[in-house]
């Protein structure tokens, strides 16, 4: 059985006309003799509207009822898609996750799929049907509806592709694929034909908004090839796959950027075991994500300066947590907001010397000051002033020949 899993995002099903277009795409796969499994998100804006309603009802809205509420958006979209396919003469029906079932583990609002019963869907496929399955949701051992986080429909599609051993998993969205950098910022950004799981995971975690990092990790762990393409243009997209499937001599694959970072610096912290943990423990408990961390030991070895970055939205809460933390002593506390993190990503830098120098020299030539640096095997990130974001992207994009 030649199975393809198609996932349609909220912008792809945002209006009735767009849903009719989605039905055409599905019909074309059927004409090519594929057995098609469809996953749909809610129509664009619907989930946010449902979340707003929950907040109007209660500031502490029940998490179990939250999942019931926000999962209803996918139900509407799937019914409309199935209805359009039936109108076109195809056998189709919508499936809610609990009807299959798709079982999950973990907490409400952030569960993970751990098992999918294939029997009903296989039978429906063999009968010529096109199942339209609600993304973003499952059912737990208490038979309660669960959701798997924002962007969870991608994870639903990837896990369905795994369990059904699909030949392809295609993520349809409002962009034509993955770009070398954000095309909304830099018009010279180019579509990437293929990218490794590792590179895509870095780009997603560093600001690329096409897919959620958790979904990329699921695909990587389960070796599911993903094609990201537009539901509005009949052009090839970007293949996300394992490194050995990619034949390229490029050093850098893409450049990611964020523009909502803040920097926190502790000056003159006593250097002893457990200090860093005492700083980061209360931040972790308050769900504040700490990113770039740099520690400098003083010449006398008795004090250290500790710098880390957080999101701007967490700055006020972070200040309050630090002021209430009596377990740490320091001489001075510095805050700097409205910063940007620029990251170059590419598996090619592992075997290519001089990449770090080229990045730093390029920024220096443009008089851009680097505030913080962090690296991994396939990534170099720098923190700079937000006002220099586009200048930095333009210069680095040209330096590593990504605009060709």
Q: How confident is the model at residue 58 (pLDDT cuts 50, 70, 90)?
A: very high
Are 86 and 43 in contact, with CB atoms under 8 Å apart? Answer: no
The owner of tokens 């029997």 is: 119
Assigned superfamily of 255-399: VC0802-like (3.30.2130.10)
User: What's the average model confidence in pLDDT over 252-264?
Assistant: 92
Q: How confident is the model at residue 75 (pLDDT cuts 50, 70, 90)?
A: very high
Q: How confident is the model at residue 299 (pLDDT cuts 50, 70, 90)?
A: low
Specify the 3-state DSSP secondary structure of 9: coil
Sheet with 379-385: list strands edge to edge: 293-297, 303-311, 254-270, 332-345, 379-385, 372-376
Model confidence pLDDT, tens digit, residues 166-206: 998 999 998 899 999 988 889 999 999 999 999 999 888 87
* Among the ranges given (10-14, 16-20, 271-275, 312-316), the one the predictor scored with the smallest mean pLDDT: 271-275
Percent of the chain with pLDDT over 70: 99
Report phi then psi at 353, rounded to 5: -75, 155
Architecture of domain 3-174: 3-Layer(aba) Sandwich (3.40)
Q: How confident is the model at residue 350 (pLDDT cuts 50, 70, 90)?
A: confident
Strand locations in 231-371, DSSP E?
238-241, 254-270, 293-297, 303-311, 332-345
The DSSP bridge partners found for residue 28 are: none
The owner of tokens 């009903």 is: 120
The pLDDT of residue 16: 97
Model confidence pLDDT, tens digit, residues 351-383: 888 999 999 999 999 999 999 999 888 999 999
In the chain, what are the domain boundaries? 3-174, 255-399
């Amino acid at each position: 059985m030649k199975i393809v899993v198609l996932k349609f995002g909220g912008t792809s099903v945002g209006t009735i006309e767009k849903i009719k277009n989605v039905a055409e795409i599905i019909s074309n796969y059927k004409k090519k003799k594929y057995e098609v499994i469809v996953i749909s998100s809610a129509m664009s804006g619907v989930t946010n509207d449902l979340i707003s309603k929950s907040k109007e009802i209660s500031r502490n809205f029940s998490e179990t009822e939250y999942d019931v509420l926000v999962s209803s958006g996918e139900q509407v979209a799937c019914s409309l898609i199935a209805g359009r396919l039936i109108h076109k003469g195809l056998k189709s029906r919508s499936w809610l996750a609990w009807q299959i079932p798709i079982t999950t583990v973990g907490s409400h609002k952030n569960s993970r799929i751990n098992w999918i019963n294939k029997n009903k869907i296989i039978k429906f496929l063999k009968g010529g049907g096109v199942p339209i399955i609600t993304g973003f949701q499952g059912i737990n051992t208490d038979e309660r509806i669960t959701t798997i986080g924002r962007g969870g429909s991608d994870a639903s599609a990837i896990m369905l592709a795994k369990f059904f051993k699909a030949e392809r998993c295609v993520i349809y969205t409002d962009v034509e694929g993955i770009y070398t950098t954000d095309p909304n910022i830099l018009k010279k950004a180019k579509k990437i034909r293929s990218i490794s799981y590792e590179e895509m995971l870095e780009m997603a975690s560093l600001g690329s908004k096409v897919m959620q990092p958790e979904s990329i990790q699921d695909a990587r762990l389960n070796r599911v090839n993903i094609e990201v393409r537009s539901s509005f243009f009949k052009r090839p997209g970007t293949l996300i796959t394992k490194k050995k499937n990619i034949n390229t001599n490029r050093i850098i694959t893409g450049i990611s950027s964020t523009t909502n970072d803040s920097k926190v610096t502790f000056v003159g912290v006593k250097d002893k075991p457990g200090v860093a943990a005492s700083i980061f423990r209360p931040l972790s408990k308050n769900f504040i994500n700490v990113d770039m961390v740099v520690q400098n030991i003083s010449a006398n070895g008795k004090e250290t300066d500790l710098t880390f970055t957080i999101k701007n939205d967490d700055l006020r809460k972070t200040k309050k947590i630090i002021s209430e933390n009596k377990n740490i002593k320091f001489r001075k506390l510095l805050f700097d907001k409205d910063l940007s993190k620029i990251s170059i990503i590419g598996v090619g830098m592992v075997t290519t010397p001089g990449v770090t120098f080229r990045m730093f020299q390029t920024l220096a030539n443009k008089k851009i000051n680097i505030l913080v640096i962090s690296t991994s095997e396939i990534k170099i990130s720098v923190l700079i002033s937000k006002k220099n974001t586009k200048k930095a992207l333009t210069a680095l994009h040209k330096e590593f020949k990504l605009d060709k």
